[in-house]
Amino acid sequence: MSLSIDDVKKVAQLARLAVTEQEAQTAHAQLSGIFGLIEEMRAVDTSGIEPMSHAQDVVQRLREDKVTEGNQREMFQQIAPQVESGLYLVPKVIE
């Protein structure tokens, strides 16, 4: 696999990370090294093997559909970057 600088920029955009040209170049060199390591996986025959997503063979627990958390808005908003009248403020998204 060869990762291009444009791939790095595209992935950074998908991940919502601003990168400068210089950062993209550094990341490109380092990621190429890391993917060199990851490529070792290719040599392994995995036909017929079930993917393992979890260490324990468990099923998702279900709970009763009832309210378990009270309203703690004021406490939670004390640590928010910007709030007004109980609302989180972000730049305008709809004109």
> Rule CB under 8 A: which residues touch another protein?
3, 7-8, 11-19, 27, 30-31, 33-34, 36-42, 44, 46, 49-56, 58, 60-61, 63, 72, 75-76, 78-82, 88, 90-93
Minimum CB separation of residue 16 from another protein in Å reads 4
Minimum CB separation of residue 47 from another protein in Å reads 9
- Using an 8 Å Cβ cutoff, are 20 and 9 in contact? no
Q: How far is CA 56 from the centre of its chain?
A: 23
- Report the C-alpha gap between 84 and 77 in whole angstroms: 10
Residue type, 22: Q
Minimum CB separation of residue 94 from another protein in Å reads 10
| Cβ distance to another protein smaller for residue 21 or 91 | 91
As a 3-state breakdown, the chain gives helix, strand, coil percent values, each rounded to 5, of 40, 5, 55
